[in-house]
Amino acid sequence: MRSNQVAVVGAAETTELGVIPNASQLQLHADAALNAIADAGLKLSDIDGFATAVETPQQVCHYLGIKPTWVDGTSVGGCSFMLHVRHAAAAIEAGLCKTVLITHAESGKSMIGKAPRSIPADSLQGQFEAPFGVYGPPSMFPIPVLRFMKTYGITHEQLASVAVVQREWAAKNPRAMMKDPITVADVLNSRMIAYPFRLLQCCLVTDGGGALILTSADRAKDFPRRPVYIMGTGESVETPMVSQMETFNSSRAFKTAGPLAFKEAGIAHKDVDHLMIYDAFAHLPLFGLGDLGFMPHEETGKFIADGNTRPGGKLPLNTNGGGLSYMHSGMYGMYALQESVRQMRGIAPAQVANAKISVCHGVGGMFAASGTIVFTNER
Amino acid sequence: MAEPQRARPKPTPETQHFWDGTKAGELRLQRCDACAHVYFPPRPFCPSCASRKVSIFKASGKGFLYSYVINHRPAAPGFTPPYAIAVVELEEGPRMMSNIIDCPQTPEALELDMKLEVAFEALDDKVTLPVFRPAKG
């Protein structure tokens, strides 16, 4: 796909984030969509392409009154929205539609109008993982981390520092759920969830949503907001079973999606001003920094512990506070995209000065899927 | 009220031989007749070369501890926390999720790369799970 032919012209989160006891999941989709449409200065009738995950496109289109000629229901977990951006950019370039709305919402905390996740007993996960006591993401996502730590010499303190640094970013963000400063000792003394991970190394559980509107770069200049161009994209899937990953020393899906996006954008790592790596748990930024090629995996723990990703550091990472401190409704990818767009517009609460290129890297499931988007504000 | 039960696997036509095997005290894997690739979970073709000519064989049951978590909360129904959820790398190559028995569920006792051997835990007269214990000697 060619770089910078499609742009984000509308972006918004739900009016509220956190605990929203007065709205269903479907209404949160609508709230985010209406906010994004207002942000772009559009009408609902201008939308001719639509994508969402978990909820079906027909469900959300019906509720909003949208009549699309292009839909994408790709649902591969929390990075589905990165894949939607990639697919939408291709569809707009191919002339299948002109203006695409992508929505995410999740009543992750209040569980209103949200189907519980279930694993059928005759699925592969139901047969070969569930009987051994996995029960929700905290018992599954960290399974590779002890092997990763042993292979690369990563310490518990370094993994704790991920949460500490992200809390520093969150402190600058009025919409972040958790803003009080924490120390490595606080993290290592917080309640044990699934060894080696403690409470402060696990994502929040919240309600919320977000929406994006994409159109061609040629049209984008006529919109009220500064266009944010899609410079490069990548995607992949590996396995729904964490136990069946090729290796626990890296993620094959990350190593496929990330380099694809960098190649398409034609950028080197030193060109990246701002970085988002989906952090459902504290080890994901380490996997991401290594698998995206920023540095050898061995150096990732020290790199974060030494403060290189904190405010004022040379590689600002997860500047909204991340899934660990900002919010995490269950499929966090949309919020990572929103922060990249804010940074490229120059309006983020913790704005990185003069940032021109933002890389936004997502995970779906337990390393099951991945999507990477490179954004730029210069065409 | 009955105690909540541990999740039970429900075999499909493609996996029945595996669960018949555990009931008979065998850990069964599959090997491709064309390219010799050994794989898991079960399927009637080779995920490496796509050949449909594959054979079922009894694995040695030996392996080592590849990685794990010790789950504290929330605990799955039928489990008393803390309990380890392990991934075992088998001598033949494939990895599988399992539990470690006859071993304290602590980071000190659960050493990565420790040698393990398969054991079989009957949940009822229908389902037997493969679990692993520290290898003797």
Closest residue to A135, CB basis, from B19, B76, B127: B76
For the beta carbon of residue A208, count every other beta carbon within 10 angstroms. 32
What is the amino acid identity at position A272?
Answer: V
Model ipTM over 0.90:
yes
pLDDT value, residue A5: 97
Q: Which residue numbers of B have CB closer than 8 Å to A's CBs?
A: 6-12, 15, 19, 40-41, 66-79, 82-83, 85-87, 95-99, 107, 112, 123, 127, 129
Interface probe with B: pick from A122, A125, A134, A139, most Cβ of B within 10 Å: A139
pLDDT at B2 over 70: no
- Please return the burial class of B70, using the count of CB atoms within 10 Å of its CB with bins 0-12, 13-18 and 19+: buried
Helix (H) or strand (E) holding A39: helix A25-40
Among the listed residues A28, A294, A283, the one whose alpha carbon sits nearest the alpha carbon of residue A161: A283
pLDDT at B1 over 70: no
Q: Any idea what DSSP says for residue B7?
A: P
Pair of tokens at residue A352: 């990185």
Instruction: Respond yes or no on whether the N-terminal peptide bond of residue A196 is cis (omega within 30° of 0).
Output: yes
CB B97 within 8 A of CB A132: yes
Average pLDDT on A351-379 reads: 97
Say if the Cβ atoms of B9 and A131 lie within 8 Å: yes
Say if the Cβ atoms of A128 and B6 lie within 8 Å: no
Say if the Cβ atoms of B69 and A195 lie within 8 Å: yes
Average pLDDT, chain A: 97
Give per-residue pLDDT as tens, A219-272: 999 999 999 999 999 999 999 999 999 999 999 999 999 999 999 999 999 999
Closest residue to B7, CB basis, from A131, A138, A144: A131
Among the listed residues A300, A200, A204, A201, the one whose alpha carbon sits nearest the alpha carbon of residue A250: A300
Average pLDDT on B103-112 reads: 98
Average pLDDT on A129-153 reads: 97
Place B136 in a pLDDT band, splitting at 50, 70 and 90: confident
Q: CA of A142: which chain B residue's CA is closest? A: B69
Q: CA of A244: which chain B residue's CA is closest? A: B95
The residues with which A276 forms a beta bridge, in sequence order, are A360
Interface probe with A: pick from B97, B99, B124, most Cβ of A within 10 Å: B97
Say if the Cβ atoms of B76 and A133 lie within 8 Å: yes
- CA distance linking residue A26 with residue A60, whole number of Å: 7
Closest residue to B68, CB basis, from A124, A146, A191: A146
> Which residues in chain B have Cβ-Cβ distances shorter than 8 Å to A243?
87, 95-97
Among the listed residues A342, A260, A211, A232, the one whose alpha carbon sits nearest the alpha carbon of residue A5: A232
- CA distance linking residue A262 with residue A90, whole number of Å: 17
Query: In A229-283, where does DSSP find H-type helix?
Result: 252-265
pLDDT at B137 over 90: no
Rounded to the nearest angstrom, the minimum Cα separation between B130 and chain A is 10
pLDDT value, residue A338: 98
Q: Is A50 helix (H, G, I), strand (E, B) or coil?
A: strand
Alpha carbon separation from B34 to A77, B30, B52, B53, B60 (Å, rounded): 35, 12, 9, 7, 22
- CA distance linking residue B105 with residue A287, whole number of Å: 27
pLDDT value, residue A283: 98
CB A251 within 8 A of CB A237: no
CA angle A106, A44, A176 (to 5 degrees): 35
pLDDT value, residue B4: 77
pLDDT value, residue A1: 83
CB A207 within 8 A of CB A19: yes
CB A58 within 8 A of CB A142: no
First-to-last C-alpha distance (Å) of chain A: 15
> Which residues in chain A have Cβ-Cβ distances shorter than 8 Å to B95?
243-244
Residue B68 has phi, psi (to 5 degrees) of -170, 165
Interface probe with A: pick from B15, B71, B126, most Cβ of A within 10 Å: B71
Give per-residue pLDDT as tens, B17-53: 999 999 999 999 999 999 999 999 999 999 999 999 9
- CA distance linking residue A117 with residue A100, whole number of Å: 28
Give per-residue pLDDT as tens, A314-327: 999 999 999 999 99
Average pLDDT on A204-221 reads: 96
CB A192 within 8 A of CB B72: yes
| Percentage with pLDDT > 90 across chain A | 98
Say if the Cβ atoms of A130 and B7 lie within 8 Å: yes
Place B3 in a pLDDT band, splitting at 50, 70 and 90: low
pLDDT value, residue A89: 98
> Which residues in chain B have Cβ-Cβ distances shorter than 8 Å to A134?
71, 76, 85, 97
pLDDT value, residue A179: 96
Rounded to the nearest angstrom, the minimum Cα separation between A206 and chain B is 17
pLDDT value, residue A115: 85
Give per-residue pLDDT as tens, B88-100: 999 999 999 999 9
Q: Is A354 left (phi over 0), alpha (psi -120 to 50) or beta?
A: left
> Could you write out the DSSP letters of every residue in B47-103?
TTT--S-EEEEE---EEEEEEEEEE-SSPPTT--SSEEEEEEEETTS-EEEE-B-SS
Say if the Cβ atoms of B11 and A194 lie within 8 Å: no
Interface probe with A: pick from B22, B85, B112, most Cβ of A within 10 Å: B85
